[in-house]
Structure 1
Amino acid sequence: MPASLRSPLAIILGAIPGALARYYATIFLAGLFGNDLPYATFLINFSGCVGMGLVVTLATQPALMSPDLRLLLAVGFLGSYTTFSTYALEVTSLWRMGQLGQGVLYGLGSLGIGTIGVLLGSLIARRLTI
Structure 2
Amino acid sequence: MSPLSPLVLASVAAGGAAGSVARYLVSVGAVGLGFSSFWGTLAVNVLGSFAIGLLAELFVRETAPPALRPLLITGFLGGFTTFSAFSLEVVGLGREGAGPALAYVAASVLFSVAACLGGVTLVRWWP
Alignment TM-score, normalising by the size of structure 1: 0.88
2:54 aligned with 1:54, yes or no? yes
| CA offsets 1:76-96 (integer angstroms, 9 cap, x no match) | 000011000000100100112
Q: Structure 2 CA distance, aligned partners of 1:61 and 1:102?
A: 26
- 1:34-45 equivalences under 5 Å are 34-35=35-36, 38-45=38-45
User: Is the CA contact 1:59–1:66 (under 8 Å) kept in the aligned structure 2?
Assistant: no
SS of the residue corresponding to residue 105 of structure 1 reads helix
Runs ≥4 in structure 1, deviation > 6 angstroms?
none
State the match for 2:113 in structure 1: 115
RMSD: 1.7
What residue identity is the alignment partner of 1:87?
F
SS of the residue corresponding to residue 59 of structure 1 reads helix
Q: Structure 2 CA distance, aligned partners of 1:81 and 1:23?
A: 8
State the match for 1:24 in structure 2: 25
- 1:1-130 equivalences under 5 Å are 4-35=5-36, 38-63=38-63, 65-96=64-95, 98-128=96-126, 130=127
User: Is the CA contact 1:53–1:89 (under 8 Å) kept in the aligned structure 2?
Assistant: yes
| CA offsets 1:95-116 (integer angstroms, 9 cap, x no match) | 12x2321111001110111111
SS of the residue corresponding to residue 34 of structure 1 reads coil
Q: Structure 1 CA distance, aligned partners of 2:68 and 2:114?
A: 35
Percent identity at matched positions?
Answer: 30
Mean alpha-carbon deviation: is it higher for 2-11 or for 84-93? 2-11
SS of the residue corresponding to residue 66 of structure 1 reads coil
Mean alpha-carbon deviation: is it higher for 2-11 or for 17-26? 2-11
Alignment TM-score, normalising by the size of structure 2: 0.90
How many residue pairs were aligned? 125
Q: Following TM superposition, by how much is the alpha carbon of 1:13 offset from its aligned partner in structure 2, in angstroms?
A: 1.3
Q: Following TM superposition, by how much is the alpha carbon of 1:4 offset from its aligned partner in structure 2, in angstroms?
A: 2.0
SS of the residue corresponding to residue 61 of structure 2 reads coil
Mean alpha-carbon deviation: is it higher for 66-75 or for 3-12? 3-12
Gaps in structure 1 of 5+ consecutive residues = none
